[in-house]
Amino acid sequence: MHERRTKDGFGGGGAGFVGSHLCDALLADGHRVICVDNFQTGSARNVEALDNHPDFSLIEADICEVFAVDSKLDQVYNLACPASPPQYQANPIHTMMTSVVGTANLLKLAEQHGASFLQASTSEVYGDPEQHPQHEDYWGHVNCTGPRACYDEGKRASETLCFDMLRMGRVDARVVRIFNTYGPRMSPDDGRIVSNLIIQALRGDDLTIYGTGEQTRSFCYVSDLVAGLVALMNVAPNPGKPVNVGNPGEFTIGDLAGLVLEMTESRSRLVHLPLPIDDPQRRRPDISRAKEVLGWEPRVSLSEGLAMTIPWFAGQLRSNPAVKGR
């Protein structure tokens, strides 16, 4: 007989794209989950299948507000923060506060409960990187006054809070640096590249390519990411350093558009629009630390992941033909 490995977990941003998949994975593993979300970019629809699950509860709250949880917590995951550039730039002050004040609040919650803490940081801490691929020891190249800074600098500050709490012996804090992740439940109008291209291709709309399309990204399928988050939360001892989690396959945006056109059998055209300010030109994770410390590496290739993602967006379009990219 298997011993029940129940842990009581708290998930900030649990109704978002990644957070909802994490809730599924933790419940499937026998944990109890309290999901907290302000529905800024997430939606109760992402977790509606869990509505009647006896070990799941959903609280609508903003992590920038202080709140208490009565029942004992063992683990706190902080995924709360919009991740798409147009979304996080729509209310930049709140984005910064979410990463700084919100993370400080959840660290305090973890401290009160003696819970382990995992902060969802980002490859954006490397900015427009001068080192390639990006290893965790690289300190980054971020414009602290540009339009992306509310997110990049907010996440950098959240990492500082985590490592100070860890050094002070107050919280068993862990930090994952997530590289571009995609899959079902991305909001179709979220504005990120994978959701935009798939929706545009399925609708027969023009595919919007910002700049030349020669900039690169490395795309990780969501199940691979969730496996990395859970592995980092549970590994002993705490690595005490940030860990990159992403898929090292590197593609230009033009390559990705070509693949989406082929896989959707779409005849959409490409249109080139101006490159957003401070858009990073190259991005690829060095995942040697994740391999060594977590025994983790991605399993799903980009074409396999797109083959699981395209039908989900097609379903969204069938139920609401007005859905568009952003």
Residues that bind ligand NAD (CB under 6 A): 12-13, 15-19, 37-42, 62-64, 79-83, 98, 102, 120, 122, 178, 180-181
**Residue 209 in contact with ligand UDP, rule: CB under 6 A:** yes
**Residue 196 in contact with ligand UDP, rule: CB under 6 A:** yes
Nearest to 102 by CA among 57, 33, 154, 147: 154
Contact 155, 124 (CB under 8 A): yes
For residues 74 and 64, give the distance between their C-alpha atoms in angstroms, rounded to a whole number.
21
Contact 184, 312 (CB under 8 A): yes
> What sign does the CA torsion over 179, 326, 313, 262 have?
negative
Residues in contact with ligand UDP, shown as a per-residue x/- string from 54 to 93 under the rule CB under 6 A: ------------------------------xx--------
**Residue 180 in contact with ligand UDP, rule: CB under 6 A:** yes
How many Cα atoms occupy the beta-carbon half-sphere of 195 within 13 Å?
Answer: 23
For residue 41, the partner it binds in ligand UDP, ligand NAD, none, with Cβ less than 5 to 8 A by kind, is ligand NAD
For residues 173 and 138, give the distance between their C-alpha atoms in angstroms, rounded to a whole number.
20
* Among residues 155, 156, 177, 217, the one that binds ligand UDP under rule CB under 6 A: 217
**Residue 250 in contact with ligand UDP, rule: CB under 6 A:** no
Please tell me what DSSP assigns to residue 205: P
- Number of residue whose CB is nearest ligand NAD: 42
Is 151 among the catalytic positions? yes
Cα torsion at 105, 40, 20, 85 (round to 10°)? -100
Contact 225, 159 (CB under 8 A): no
Our CB check for ligand NAD shows the closer of 42 and 242 to be 42
**Residue 32 in contact with ligand UDP, rule: CB under 6 A:** no
The window from 65-73, 91-99, 132-140, 204-212 that contacts ligand UDP (CB under 6 A) reads 204-212
Our CB check for ligand UDP shows the closer of 85 and 127 to be 85
For residues 188 and 202, give the distance between their C-alpha atoms in angstroms, rounded to a whole number.
12
Within 47-192, where are the H helices? 85-90, 92-97, 103-113, 149-167
For residue 62, the partner it binds in ligand NAD, ligand UDP, none, with Cβ less than 5 to 8 A by kind, is ligand NAD
Our CB check for ligand UDP shows the closer of 138 and 210 to be 210
For residues 78 and 117, give the distance between their C-alpha atoms in angstroms, rounded to a whole number.
8
Catalytic residue among 77, 151, 182, 221: 151
Structural tokens at position 69: 């949880």
**Residue 294 in contact with ligand UDP, rule: CB under 6 A:** no
* Among residues 95, 215, 247, 264, the one that binds ligand UDP under rule CB under 6 A: 215
Residues 6+ apart with CB under 8 A from 149: 142, 143
Tell me how far, at minimum, the Cβ of 301 lies from ligand NAD, in Å.
17
Residue 33, φ and ψ in degrees, nearest 5: -130, 130
* Among residues 132, 276, 312, 324, the one that binds ligand UDP under rule CB under 6 A: 276
Point out the residues that are catalytic.
Answer: 151
List contacts with ligand UDP (CB under 6 A): 84-85, 180, 192-193, 196, 208-210, 215, 217, 253, 276, 279
